[in-house]
Amino acid sequence: MQNESYLFHYTNVSALAQILKNKTIKFSPLTVVDDLQEQDIQDRQKYGKYCFVSSWTDEENESIPMWKMYASMDSGARIKLPKYPFKEYVINDRNVPAYSERNNISGLSVFTNNVFTESPYCPLPTKLLCKVEYTDDPHKLKPQVITVKNGQTTVSTDIIGQCKSKYWKFQSEWRYVLFFLPFGYREMMRSARDDKNQSSLKKLALCPDLPFNYYFLEINDNDFAQMEVVLSPKMSEGNKCIVELLKKEYNSSMKMMPSKLTGLIG
């Protein structure tokens, strides 16, 4: 059964501890996800390392394959959160694009103001949440990010991380997607306005690394309080105690419940 208002994330107790302690959701680059095909693009450069995702599912019924692949039968947890659970910040500069998917309010962003004014990287305004399309179309599975037509260069970041092979259809995946450029927002805007030599595009072609391996977005207080956690089907008593202590320490309003598969799997 698919859920329209909430999403679910399979993980282990160790990762759950970090989520509860820091009130953040971790985004990983496409270069480290389990579907190795996802980082393939037509461009010579490996732009997949600029696309960061957090994978969830809308399937409300528990999945044995998901428990086994992304959590653990004796030390796993499935998190339930409302869609778009991220804290939003007021952006003071009117020239900076808003990133509010939930309310579409100008001036709100899941990034703090200093990300645009001080950081040596630049988040692009991609669609924050997308339902993964499962396909056999090679052009969708291996897209082209940069195209040149009539002397005009286009960077299409919204086509990365959107599609997967039909082999993965059992995941019923939704994912939050962030795409970063390896230079600051001010530099990008200055280059777009004034730089006939397109220095930003030349820098992008060199494919330099970002200053981080993973990215974290903060969960807002209201949605954090609504968190629900299902314990894995063969959860050990020790790990159950750990989750109970985490709930008491970091999120006392969090609902905690046993798996419906408990006692049904050998």
Tens digits of per-residue pLDDT, 68-111? 999 989 999 999 999 999 999 988 777 777 777 666 666 789 99
Higher pLDDT, 57 or 160: 57
Which of the residue ranges 48-57, 92-101, 154-163, 191-200 would you say has the lowest mean pLDDT? 191-200
Angstrom distance (rounded) from CA 65 to CA 129: 23
Identify whether the C-beta of residue 228 lies closer than 8 Å to the C-beta of residue 257. Answer: yes
SS3 199: helix
pLDDT tens column, 226-236: 999 999 999 99
Report yes or no: 119 and 184 within 8 Å, Cβ to Cβ.
yes
Taking 90 as the threshold, does the pLDDT of residue 165 lie above it? no
Instruction: Concatenate the DSSP letters of all residues of 67-116 into one string.
Output: HHHHS-TTTEEEEEEESS-B--EE---TTSPP--TTT--TTEESS-HHHH
Question: Taking the model in full, what pTM does it have?
Answer: 0.88
User: With pLDDT > 70 as the criterion, what percentage of the chain qualifies?
Assistant: 82
d(CA 265, CA 96): 52
Q: Where are the alpha helices (DSSP H) in the chain?
A: 13-22, 64-70, 113-117, 138-141, 185-194, 199-205, 221-225, 237-250
Q: What percent of the chain has pLDDT over 90?
A: 53
In angstroms, the CA 5 to CA 248 distance is 26
Q: Average of pLDDT values for 49-53?
A: 90
Q: What's the mean pLDDT in 112-133?
A: 88
Give the Cα separation of 33 and 53 in Å (integer): 9
Q: Is 49 helix (H, G, I), strand (E, B) or coil?
A: helix
Higher pLDDT, 106 or 175: 175
